[in-house]
Chain A
Amino acid sequence: MTLSVAVEHDLGGFHLEAQFACEGGVTALFGRSGAGKTTLVNAIAGLLRPRGGHIELDGETLFDAARSVHVAASKRRFGYVFQEGRLFPHLTVRQNLTFSRIFHRGQTAPGGFDHVVELLGLRDLLHRRPGALSGGERQRVALGRALLSGPRALLLDEPLASLDALRKDEVLRYIELMRDEIRIPVIYVSHAVEEVVRLADTVVLMSAGKVVAAGGVEDVMGRPDLRAATGAFEGGAVIDARVIAHDMQYELATLGFDGGTLTVTNLDALVGEHVRARVRARDVSIALEAPRRISIQNVLPGRITAVGDARDGIVDVSIAVGSALLRSRITARAAQLLALRPGLDVYALIKAVSLDRLGGR
């Protein structure tokens, strides 16, 4: 799939002017609330007619302001999962799932009805009505309904936003399962870093109606210059790694990456599996000598590549560990006392428990 989007739109004083292109896999539209993500997705789905621009999917023009082309939402074949589910209250779960059959679509759902029902664990819910479902169940049904409409791509607009932490995790697992089992291109709208890191292959970073950056998750999420858009306390690095060992006694796992190993807790991935670790900049300390008799489990030798300017007494330091680039956020005083400068060999210290729950690939 190749989707190219260039959209210009005004919405009550808010100006959206965004361009991006994406291929298959999971593309995250990431940015704060009000960045224009939902407006952009609505334009892609055809629920909103932008003032200018063009949208193209696999060579087919879906929208072109110059030529007055605007394919109706019902003809675009995007499976849209809304923030609030939007299940039809007068229909049962089964009728919701098969809704698109009335309009002669859904023949292309991979594996068909039964496969999707099993995958999303909907078997026991089929006879119920949406009013009798929990928030998480509702989103799973919405996911199934979108999948069964035989879409060319899925648009997920903050599908976890209305759920509590427990339900979020539940639905997130199903989305991961779906991503791995049914290889359908996904555009995933979110303002939550964890979700993006866990699910996405590429990120389109949006801020104030504009696309600020686009690229691989590791590249975009780690860039310090995008701190304003990715969130001041969320800065950090994303490391691609593979599980090399499990320590059953201490419930730890060892991840190998190009630059060393990382010890992490509570990982439900198998040995050999590909995972992604997000290391927040504020969780990385710097030592000039290898510390001994210390509780910190990850001590990674590396070399400083850049020391940022002090701002509010805070300095961001980039450390190359193998080919991976770690960020460390320390006080300006510490940076000065240690005389940190580019080219200096240092040790990056990361507490094992500070590493986020990781996303499997």
Chain B
Amino acid sequence: MAEARLPAGELSVPLPTPLELDIILLSLKVALWSVVVSLPVALAISHLLARHDFPGKSLVDACVHLPLVLPPVVVGYFLLVLLGRSGPVGAWLEQWFGIVVAFNWRGAAIACAVMGFPLMVRAMRISMEAIDPKLEAAAATLGAGRAGTFLVVTLPLALPGIVTGVLLSFARSLGEFGATITFVSNIPGETQTLPLAIYALTQVPGGDDAALRLCVISIVLSFAALLVSEALVRRASRRALGHDALGRR
């Protein structure tokens, strides 16, 4: 980058300080893990909603969409009640697996995963519904069982939607605030992701400049995520639709 060669004192937007770098890395770690955790569940739920009819389907659908319409604080509070060290699920996790998610980065990832879940499922479900079920029937006559058909036909054909869902939820995780701060609080170095750090800085006198720097970093990150997603989706749909690399059919 051209700016990097300028003398340090003249930089209008200098490179991130070590502290800022920590915040960025933590935010990326939380967002990445939130996607990793929710991806398999989202794939299963999307397939269930797209390809199966069962009693209570609309209820499942509503539950999936709940985080989209509830105040994030409510989601965070529920997570706290359920997954806190004394909560029913939290106590069970600690007793059997020794995993604690309250007030650490794992909890932040879970909060982000829950908040991004509806976006992920929506994108995946739509792309799975768009696949002709006749292709899956054809796969069955060629010896593919349910799992085989899902892996070899459904999944690759739904790839554009899966990539979109992953990136939407990733971007949502980078920006998650309400549920995270309610569930795992705002602990620097542990749960303080970018939005939380910005919020903390705006709460102390003289923190405006530092907050603004983080805002710029946030914008750059989001922009990069969008560009990458655009490129990936284009590549994925080219594969799924059967165009080759030169765009020929």
- Which residues in A have some Cβ–Cβ distance to B below 8 Å? 45-47, 72-80, 82, 84, 86, 88-90, 99-100, 102-105, 129-132, 145-146, 149
* 0/1 interface trace, chain B 123-137, chain A, CB 8 Å (1 if under): 000000000101101
* 0/1 interface trace, chain B 209-249, chain A, CB 8 Å (1 if under): 00000000000000000000000000000011111100011
Given A129-B244, A129-B249, output 19 extra A-B contacts at Cβ < 8 Å: A47-B137, A73-B140, A74-B140, A75-B143, A76-B141, A77-B143, A82-B134, A86-B137, A88-B153, A88-B157, A89-B135, A89-B241, A90-B242, A99-B144, A100-B143, A103-B142, A103-B143, A130-B242, A132-B248
Answer whether A86 and B138 are a contact pair too, CB < 8 Å, given A103-B145, A129-B249.
yes
Answer whether A72 and B141 are a contact pair too, CB < 8 Å, given A89-B157, A132-B248.
no
Bound CA span A131–B242, Å: 6
Q: Are A73's CB and B249's CB within 8 A?
A: no
Residues of A within 8 A of B157 (CB): 88-90
* Contact among B143, B144, B242 for A129, CB-based, below 8 A: B242
Residues of A within 8 A of B152 (CB): 99, 102
Residues of B within 8 A of A130 (CB): 242
Majority DSSP secondary structure for residues of B touching A: helix
Chain B proximity of A301: nearest CB distance (Å): 52
Interface membership of B156, Cβ < 8 A: yes
Answer whether A86 and B140 are a contact pair too, CB < 8 Å, given A103-B148, A130-B242, A131-B242.
no
Residues of B within 8 A of A78 (CB): 141
* Contact among B132, B143, B153, B241 for A104, CB-based, below 8 A: B143
Chain B residue total in the interface (Cβ 8 A): 25
Q: Are A100's CB and B134's CB within 8 A?
A: no
Residues of A within 8 A of B143 (CB): 74-75, 77, 100, 103-105, 149
Bound CA span A79–B143, Å: 10
Q: Are A89's CB and B242's CB within 8 A?
A: yes
Chain B proximity of A78: nearest CB distance (Å): 6
Q: Are A86's CB and B135's CB within 8 A?
A: yes
Residues of A within 8 A of B241 (CB): 89-90, 131
Chain A proximity of B140: nearest CB distance (Å): 4
Interface membership of B45, Cβ < 8 A: no
Can you sample 7 A-B contacts with CB below 8 Å? A46-B141, A80-B138, A82-B134, A86-B138, A90-B157, A102-B148, A132-B242
